Structure 1
Amino acid sequence: MITGYADEKRKIAAQFSRAAKEYDSVASFQREVADYLLNARVTPAQRANEVWLDLGVGTGYALPSLRQLNPKGALIALDIAEGMLVHASETCDRLAVSRVCGDAEHLPLGSETVHRVFSSLAVQWCFDPTQLYRELHRVLKVGGRATLATLTESSLCELKQAWRVIDNDVHVNHFLSHGDILKHAQPYFSVNSEEKTYHLNYPDVIGLMRDLKKIGANHVIGKASSGLSKRNYLRQLMKAYEPFSEDQGVRATYEVCFLDLVKVSE
């Protein structure tokens, strides 16, 4: 467990709560990932009374699709950020979705109570991946599935390289490799996975930094304040980012691991 666990969790929750109002205006990549996860890996409920969990629900983008796939069962929207849940409240009320504020590493749910977990671009914010998969295993019924999308270590590689030109401090969060993700998940689940690369373009480095802030992803775990927003470094960062400039602006790469986990035993 990292030093100051509870304080770091509060910072992450506060960062995403502040971002809730502007999140959807810059979340096209997040919607694309969620759509792929829903279309490629989530199948309709097999029974009328299934309990599904949207883990890290955010502003509730996936909820209408999940309700369509599980029309008669229970649907739970869980997020660590109260502000996100407030923003998603209208969607939750319209679709008869229960809202829960909680931490993925300490799920406030009973053991073997959930048939399906859906989570898109949320679990990379967990500190202890073993604890995450242990909790998912605990709350899922035997035969239940967890369908996840999470960032891997090559994400924002251009930004990481540009910062290394300037100093040796940590300015971008570390994400696990595909192999390490599997290593943590396989003791608990039967695992099927794939990795996809997404290249995003921004008008300039300022646009990239602004979007990271608007989606709440500018908090660097373990730092008092995020290096992504230090104004005195901006000019240096723009210069260091020049190798990643293109006709459309500047490039940012995201690597996403898509996981389908099946609980085969207690």
Structure 2
Amino acid sequence: MNLDNPVAVKFSQAAATYKQHDVLQRITASRLIKLANTEYNADKKTGLTGHLLDLGCGPGTDFESNHCQLTKVTAVDLSPQMLNVVQQSFPQYHTVCADAANLPITANSMDSIYSNLVLQWCDELTQVFNELNRVIKPQGQAFISVVSDGSLSQLETLGLGHNSFRHLDDIIAAIDTEKWQILSAETTTEQVHFADLKALLYSIKGVGASVNEYQDKSLTDKKTNRLRGRKDWLALMDKAESLREANGLPLSYNISYLQLGKR
């Protein structure tokens, strides 16, 4: 694993401030856990059960308060600083610093997998899905959310650059259906609101998501306008105000939610 990886660096820098800005992450976490806690999964004793792998765990998720039937949590992240936060908040979790495409985890050892807003940072997505398949037990399930194409449209309107993201079809194309059964896959729009432009932009930077060096070679950055001083900033703030809604300045994300079962 390369700790100079720009994704690891950015998220390590954001470890101390992450929980101040993780509005979207909390929304998607709630939806993922709801997806896992359906009556069908409860009857089949599937969902988030047994020994859980939390891939790209960030500062950690409180699975116990969300009624998940877990015996152990292995929390994996590329950022050592994020894992330090996990150890402070959830000392019962086992933490591992590793890359999603090369997990130091025994084959067929995990009962379930949870990954919230992580895989958009992975360039070798097929390799990641294959690695997840390797470590999970037969019939185990994975619950995954991914930022996808069409996200951050307001930044485009403002002429600000942002990462490009895969379409759900491209995400699905990276999944080996001889290894995985795709139980559900859909994209929904999640929108968060902010008091002003500064808060909106910090919502991205504050969770480490401003990195763009990770990019899949097939994805290209949008052209951006550079701010050259206070005058440009004030003009940008005025332009942002034209987007304001009743709840504040909006920022939209297209999130793909997947439920996969190992064959």
TM more than 0.5: yes
Aligned to 1:113: 109
For residue 209 of structure 1, give the secondary structure of its aligned residue in structure 2: helix
Q: Distance in 2 between matches of 1:140 and 1:46?
A: 15
Q: Distance in 2 between matches of 1:79 and 1:240?
A: 37
Q: TM-score, normalised by structure 1?
A: 0.81
Instruction: Please report how far the alpha carbon of residue 118 of structure 1 lies from its aligned counterpart in structure 2 after TM superposition.
Output: 0.5
The answer to whether residue 163 in structure 2 is matched with residue 173 in structure 1 is: yes
2:112 is aligned with what amino acid?
R
Q: Is the 8 A contact 1:209 1:229 kept in 2?
A: no
Match of 1:17 among 12, 15, 26: 12
Match of 2:118 among 116, 122, 125: 122
For structure 2, the 5+ residue unaligned runs are 216-222
Instruction: Please report how far the alpha carbon of residue 40 of structure 1 lies from its aligned counterpart in structure 2 after TM superposition.
Output: 2.2
Runs of 4 or more, structure 1, over 6 Å off, are: 227-230
Q: Is the 8 A contact 2:190 2:252 kept in 1?
A: yes
Instruction: Please report how far the alpha carbon of residue 242 of structure 1 lies from its aligned counterpart in structure 2 after TM superposition.
Output: 5.2
Identity %: 26
Q: Distance in 1 between matches of 2:31 and 2:224?
A: 29
Aligned pairs for 1:227-238 within 5 A: 232=228, 234-235=233-234, 237-238=236-237
How many residues of Structure 1 are paired with residues of Structure 2 in the alignment?
A: 245
Q: Is the 8 A contact 2:122 2:214 kept in 1?
A: no
2:256 is aligned with what amino acid?
C
Match of 2:151 among 155, 160, 183: 155
Match of 2:130 among 121, 131, 134: 134
Q: Distance in 2 between matches of 1:128 and 1:80?
A: 15
The CA RMSD over aligned residues, in Å, is: 2.8
For residue 155 of structure 1, give the secondary structure of its aligned residue in structure 2: coil
Which range is displaced more, 214-223 or 24-33?
A: 214-223
Aligned in 2, Cα 1:102/1:222: closer, same or farther, shift over 3 Å?
closer
Q: TM-score, normalised by structure 2?
A: 0.82
Instruction: Please report how far the alpha carbon of residue 69 of structure 1 lies from its aligned counterpart in structure 2 after TM superposition.
Output: 2.1
For structure 1, the 5+ residue unaligned runs are 165-170
Summarize deviations over 1:116-166 as a string: whole Å, max 9, x none.
Answer: 1111111111111111111111111211111111111111112134327xx
Q: Distance in 2 between matches of 1:116 and 1:234?
A: 46
